[in-house]
A = this chain, B = another copy of it.
């Protein structure tokens, strides 16, 4: 017997299409994050929203498309968090990276989702592989640009390919630390280790001590 007296809640009625899609995307992020894409099923996702898996397919057509929208959704949320709505450059970028690491230590789910999908994406023909590869490429571009800016500020001439090498190393250390932290949070201080590693790489690249001050 459904309770029809329920009407004080703002929307016990029916969620709009946009609301439902958002709910499903959030649920899918959790499911793909905790179980991976292949092991996480549409039934799992649907259950979290309180519908059947066919309902999910009604909104997204296929599991692959759902994954795609989850990834775009994550990007959108990330950009939203960035109040300025634009990616900072120079030293601000590295400050932002360390800040993100500190925030990440408090939201295991997101970190797990990212780690699982990234790992899975190196399998042959994985639907997320191009997304992850492009993401890496964009990040390398932004970070190497920031490294060049810092070098210019300090009038340092860098060897050919050095900014790119440093950028790849910075991204690598962040991802790798997340893996270790997920498997053993006691053993790794995510924020501290990330800050330390990025400072190390920048110091070695620029030839003089670099400190990333807390904003």
Given the complex, which residues of B lie within 8 Å of A122, measured CB to CB? Answer: 112, 115-116, 119, 179, 182-183
Determine how close the nearest CB of chain B comes to the CB of A71; give it in whole angstroms.
Answer: 14
Copies of this chain present in the complex amount to: 2
In angstroms, Cα B180 to Cα A174, docked, is: 12
Interface residue from B136, B172, B187, B204 paired with A173 (Cβ < 8 Å): B172
Interface residue from B116, B166, B168, B196 paired with A169 (Cβ < 8 Å): B196
**Binary contact readout A167-209 vs B (1 if CB under 8 angstroms, 0 otherwise):** 0110111111101101110011100110011011101110000
CB <8 Å contact, B179 and A119:
yes
Contacts A116-B122, A118-B119, A204-B204; is A197 near B169 (CB within 8 Å)?
Answer: yes
* Of A9-17, A33-41, A84-92, the one touching chain B: A33-41
In angstroms, Cα B197 to Cα A60, docked, is: 42
Determine how close the nearest CB of chain B comes to the CB of A7; give it in whole angstroms.
Answer: 38
Is A95 in contact with chain B by the CB < 8 A criterion?
no
Closest to A183 in B: B133
CB <8 Å contact, B193 and A169:
yes
Is A148 in contact with chain B by the CB < 8 A criterion?
no
Given the complex, which residues of B lie within 8 Å of A35, measured CB to CB? Answer: 123-124
Closest to A39 in B: B38
